[in-house]
Structures are given as structure tokens and as C-alpha cells.
Amino acid sequence: MSDFDPGNRLIVALDVENRGQADALAARLGGAAGWLKIGLELFIAGGPDLVREYAGAGRRIMLDLKLHDIPATVERAVARSAALGVELMTIHAGGGRAMIEAAAGAARRAGATRPRLLAVTVLTSLDERDLEDIGARGPLDELVVRRARLAAEAGADGVVASPREAALVRAAAPPGFLIVTPGVRPAGAATGDQKRVMTASEARAAGADLVVVGRPIRAAGDPAAAARAMAAELS
């Protein structure tokens, strides 16, 4: 992991409906953000070809599908994703040790250009009450740290965790372990469906290597200016 250079630490989420909207937003951003995140909605709309073409054009891509299935299925899906040229991709830590190990093995076998594998700990839309509803053993921050330790032991390169747990994960994780944080908002901005949020500078100070931002940049009158301001906070 020591050879991984995050560069510009801002990942902009292309959470849009179709390829045309994604192309338009990417064009408006220019080089203001170091990374683009392709999640479930856009992946279903645009398919693997969109991912392959963006990566082939020199865009640094985080493929955020949160894979969660039996180990053999996730192993093969990681191998197919690696072939698209993505640099970061997500699985779900809730899939367990064997699944994470299988995914990590597939990522390593992709060679020098392999994607870094991130295990999603607990979604930023969940809080303590939600954990109780689904029968997960909390407290929430302890669950995040337990899953981060599991991910590290099983060979993942890092985790996705809210900025509110970033410092705890950083203290518990091995050197070089990546922490990517969604749930980042400008001071005073609406939180939407995110329940555990911080500003970009707060997330970075807490130990985040990269942050994912969607709506505050997509909805800005000048997305590139909004992205540059947030990237500056992270630098």
C-alpha cells in the first residue's frame, strides 16, 4: 500500500441518472477533482463500458458497488472489475472474512495496476437505532473499528467509514491502511440522508486519505469551483 499515491484527495460521486449526465458533469469538473466515483445507479445505467472508457481516458475511478455475496462470486466480480482499469473498488465488510480474503486475492492477482480494495464498514446513512433494527452489535463506532480490523487482517487495502470514525480507525489500523470517507459536507450545508458527517478539513484532520462528495458539488452553480475549494481544504 505504500506505493499508492492518492494525489488530489477529492472523489466526486457521479450519482446521476445516465451517461449523458455523467459526461456533462465530468466535463464541467475538468481536473478540479482527482477522482470520480461510479456507484450503483450509474453503473446500472452505463455498464462496464462507461467505467472502462473513463479509466482509459485517464480518469482515476473509484468503482463503488459494495459487493456482498458468497466468496466465489465476489472473487470473480473483483477480477472482472480490475480488468476495467479502476484504481479503487468497494466490497462490504459485512460479507465476512472469507469473502474479504477472496476479494483481496483477486485484486492482488491483477498485478501492478491492481485496484485497491476498500471494505465498507457501516453506511453513513445508519445510526445506533438502525443498528438495533437490523440486529447488529454496536455501539456503532466499535462496530466500525471491528470491521476495519477484520478488513485489514483479511487483506483489504482500506475501508470506507464515516469521518466521525476516521480517527478511531486510524488508531487501530496498520500503517498505510487507506481510509475513504463519504458523509463530507461544507459547513452549514444540508446533510440529506447522511447521519454522520463532517467538513472536508475535519475529515482529513481525523485521518481520512480521501473524501467522497456528491450533492454539494453536483448541485453547485459551478461544480469545478466547488470542487477546487474542497480539494484545497484537503491539501
Q: Which residues are catalytic?
A: 66
Contact residues for 206 (Cβ-Cβ < 8 A; gap 6+): 163, 164, 166, 167, 170, 181, 198
> What sign for the dihedral angle of Cα 192, 122, 66, 52?
positive
Nearest in space to 153 (alpha carbons), one of 81, 71, 96:
96
From residue 154, give the alpha-carbon distance in Å to each of 54, 57, 74, 102, 170: 30, 32, 14, 9, 17
